[in-house]
């Protein structure tokens, strides 16, 4: 008897399912994303496939219902961590990977996701299964030899069918499973192509449940869209314990960010250098983005200490203003939110009388690092003023502070650490908010300003 197949429509953006087609997704509101899928009802039950031994025992003996546990009787899971072999990778994760957890790693094509996980698989001290759905085992072998990892004990599999992969997992019993990539894994009982929202949900759930039952760690490598977000339904990010994004600067630097982490902080950032031997952790990035100049600074350039996770990075903010073509001004900034740049330009125009409404504004961060903290507001304002007037900032001077809509310079966190990092790089003067937070200690090199006008007057003599 032929298996009965049902038709439903799934949104390619959020994974919402409907029995009828709609031009607009009722869940996320996007247009023309509802795709037709035909799914067979004659499927094996997922729990029995994921844990066959438990299902077989259920046919011969009654399974007791799980009892609730008291919170204080449970053991903490910090002792279950193991190192990835990369200090920066461990820093971002909060100390390393955790047994029984699932991690989702996304990034642009060719940025080094597979290289990072291949090095990690070769460096960890546990049984590893690397599932290569996009490359053949011979290609993986050639890359491992090029990276100097050819002599490591690493098990490879090119199986992309879900049921066959679960059989491989049962046979190998790995402690770390790397799926490269999750978009290539598919279930033949699901009437949709690999990479479809239904396939992603089903395959990620099955592998995650196997890893939780066997106290193994799973790392899913995922494709990204042109906007830089992980491709597929958003529910995939909700299913995993940690979500990692791999970013690239204009040079060989790579940045690893973690917007979701159930076992640690989301404030840390990992820095890697890509070379002939693969990815190498950058242990001391304090002065990595800081340029020492013997000549005076050009107009439109300022330096500022940026607090990322538990470290301070000295970065260079570059600004450029040119007359707007057609009378309509625009803001170009891909490393700092353009809306923040437009807001700071409006504050300068309102309180200092410097016109930006007829100017195109360009903002860049040297080194290509993306900055989101508010402590760079004062540096952006000074760089814009310097670029608009042509007056350069003095050498060996930095500034930090949040700028309010009223033109005030507000306090920032970790001021003492910022000043220490600036001194270590030879900076003699730091301009910042007059009001410091409790416990912050400053010395004579710190110049206090209460308003944006005072900061401009002190730095640019205007």
Indicate which CATH number applies to the domain containing 354: 3.30.230.10
Indicate which CATH number applies to the domain containing 108: 3.40.50.300
- What is the rounded distance in angstroms from the CA atom of residue 128 to the CA atom of residue 217? 9
- Find how far residue 112's CA is from the centre of its chain: 14
Q: Is the distance from CB of 157 to CB of 165 less than 8 angstroms?
A: yes
Residue numbers of the domain that contains 35: 5-43
pLDDT at site 45: 40
Choice between 292 and 458, residue whose per-residue pLDDT is larger? 458
Tokens of 105: 């790693």
Q: Is the distance from CB of 108 to CB of 225 less than 8 angstroms?
A: no
pLDDT at site 46: 43
pLDDT exceeds 70 at position 4: no
Listed residues 236, 253, 281: the one ending a domain: 281
Does residue 291 belong to any structural domain of this protein? no
pLDDT exceeds 50 at position 261: yes
Region of poorest pLDDT, from 5-19, 249-263, 294-308, 335-349: 5-19
pLDDT exceeds 50 at position 42: no
Listed residues 281, 311, 326: the one ending a domain: 281
Listed residues 252, 281, 310: the one ending a domain: 281
The DSSP output letter for 15 is -
On whether both 181 and 35 belong to a single domain, the answer is no
pLDDT at site 38: 66
On whether both 313 and 246 belong to a single domain, the answer is no
Q: Taking the chain, what is the end-to-end CA distance rounded to the nearest angstrom? A: 86
pLDDT exceeds 90 at position 73: no
Half-sphere exposure of 105 (CA within 13 A, CB side): 25
The band of 113, judged by pLDDT with boundaries at 50, 70 and 90, is very high
Q: Is the distance from CB of 216 to CB of 100 less than 8 angstroms?
A: yes
On whether both 361 and 426 belong to a single domain, the answer is yes
Residue with the two structure tokens 């205007």 = 462
Does residue 49 belong to any structural domain of this protein? no
pLDDT at site 21: 87
Q: How much of the chain, in percent, has pLDDT values that exceed 90?
A: 50
The band of 222, judged by pLDDT with boundaries at 50, 70 and 90, is very high
Does residue 294 belong to any structural domain of this protein? no
pLDDT at site 64: 57
Choice between 262 and 77, residue whose per-residue pLDDT is larger? 262
On whether both 320 and 268 belong to a single domain, the answer is no
- 263 phi and psi angles, rounded to 5 deg: -120, 15
Per-residue pLDDT of 366-392, as tens digits, reads: 888 889 899 999 999 999 999 999 999
Summary mean pLDDT of the chain: 86
Please give the helix or strand (H or E) that residue 315 lies within, else none: strand 311-323
Does residue 95 belong to any structural domain of this protein? yes
- What is the rounded distance in angstroms from the CA atom of residue 366 to the CA atom of residue 300? 13
Work out whether strand 397-399 and strand 311-323 pair parallel, antiparallel, or are unpaired.
unpaired
Per the annotation, binding residues for ATP are: 107-114
Per the annotation, binding residues are: 107-114
- What is the rounded distance in angstroms from the CA atom of residue 137 to the CA atom of residue 341? 48
On whether both 222 and 337 belong to a single domain, the answer is no
Does residue 286 belong to any structural domain of this protein? no
* Strand, helix or coil for residue 135: coil
Does residue 174 belong to any structural domain of this protein? yes
Cis peptide upstream of residue 434 (ω within 30 degrees of 0): no
pLDDT at site 230: 81
The mean pLDDT value for 348-364 works out to 94
Does residue 61 belong to any structural domain of this protein? no
The mean pLDDT value for 80-85 works out to 89
On whether both 130 and 253 belong to a single domain, the answer is yes
Per-residue pLDDT of 84-95, as tens digits, reads: 999 999 999 999
Tokens of 107: 């990034």
Residue with the two structure tokens 């899928």 = 37
Choice between 152 and 115, residue whose per-residue pLDDT is larger? 115
Cβ burial of 226 (10 Å; 0-12, 13-18, 19+) is exposed
Does residue 135 belong to any structural domain of this protein? yes
On whether both 262 and 198 belong to a single domain, the answer is yes
Report in angstroms the alpha-carbon separations of 394 from 104, 298, 303, 312. 45, 10, 11, 22
On whether both 337 and 194 belong to a single domain, the answer is no
* Strand, helix or coil for residue 318: strand
On whether both 375 and 443 belong to a single domain, the answer is yes
On whether both 417 and 375 belong to a single domain, the answer is yes
On whether both 219 and 312 belong to a single domain, the answer is no
Beta bridge pairs of residue 410: 402
The mean pLDDT value for 403-418 works out to 93
On whether both 260 and 308 belong to a single domain, the answer is no
What is the domain count for the chain? 3
> To the nearest 10°, the Cα dihedral for 411, 415, 421, 427?
50
């Amino acid at each position: 008897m032929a298996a009965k197949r049902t038709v439903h429509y799934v949104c390619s953006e959020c994974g919402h399912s409907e029995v009828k087609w709609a031009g607009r997704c009722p869940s996320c509101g996007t247009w023309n994303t509802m795709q037709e899928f035909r799914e067979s009802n004659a499927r094996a039950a997922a729990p029995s496939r994921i844990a066959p031994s438990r299902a077989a025992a259920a046919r011969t003996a009654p399974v007791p219902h799980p009892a609730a546990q008291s919170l204080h009787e449970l053991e903490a899971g910090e002792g279950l961590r193991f190192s990835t072999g990369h200090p920066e990778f461990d820093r971002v994760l909060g100390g390393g990977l955790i047994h029984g957890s699932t991690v989702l790693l996304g990034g642009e094509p060719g940025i080094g996701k597979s290289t990072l996980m291949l090095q990690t698989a070769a460096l960890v001290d546990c049984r590893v299964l690397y599932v290569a759905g996009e490359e053949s085992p011979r290609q993986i072998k050639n890359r491992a030899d090029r990276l100097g990892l050819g002599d490591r004990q690493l098990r490879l599999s090119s199986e992309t069918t879900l049921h066959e992969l679960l059989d491989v997992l049962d046979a190998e019993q790995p402690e770390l499973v790397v799926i490269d990539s999750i978009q290539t894994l598919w279930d033949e009982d699901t009437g949709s192509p690999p990479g479809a929202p239904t396939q992603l949900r089903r395959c990620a759930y099955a592998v995650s449940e196997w890893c939780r039952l066997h106290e193994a760690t799973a790392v899913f490598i995922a494709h990204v869209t042109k906007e830089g977000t992980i491709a597929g339904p958003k529910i995939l990010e909700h299913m995993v314990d940690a979500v990692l994004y791999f970013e690239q600067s204009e040079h060989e630097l790579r940045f690893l960010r973690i917007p979701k982490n159930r076992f640690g902080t989301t404030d840390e950032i990992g820095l890697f250098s890509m070379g002939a031997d693969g990815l190498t952790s950058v242990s001391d990035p304090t002065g990595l983005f800081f340029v020492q100049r013997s000549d005076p600074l050009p107009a439109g350039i300022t330096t500022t200490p940026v607090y990322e996770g538990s470290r301070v990075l000295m970065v260079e903010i570059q600004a450029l203003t040119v007359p707007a073509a057609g009378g309509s001004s625009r803001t170009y900034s891909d490393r700092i939110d353009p809306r923040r740049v437009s807001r700071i330009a409006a504050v300068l125009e309102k309180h200092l009388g410097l016109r930006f409404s007829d100017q195109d504004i360009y903002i860049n961060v040297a080194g290509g690092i993306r900055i989101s903290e508010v402590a760079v507001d004062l540096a952006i304002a000074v760089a814009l003023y310097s670029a608009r007037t042509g007056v350069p900032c003095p050498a060996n001077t930095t500034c930090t502070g949040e700028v309010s809509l009223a033109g005030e310079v507000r306090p920032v966190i970790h001021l003492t650490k910022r000043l220490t990092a600036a001194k270590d790089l030879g900076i003699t003067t730091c301009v910042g908010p007059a009001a410091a937070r409790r416990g912050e200690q400053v010395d004579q090199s710190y110049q206090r300003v209460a308003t944006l006008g005072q900061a401009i007057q002190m730095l640019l003599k205007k």
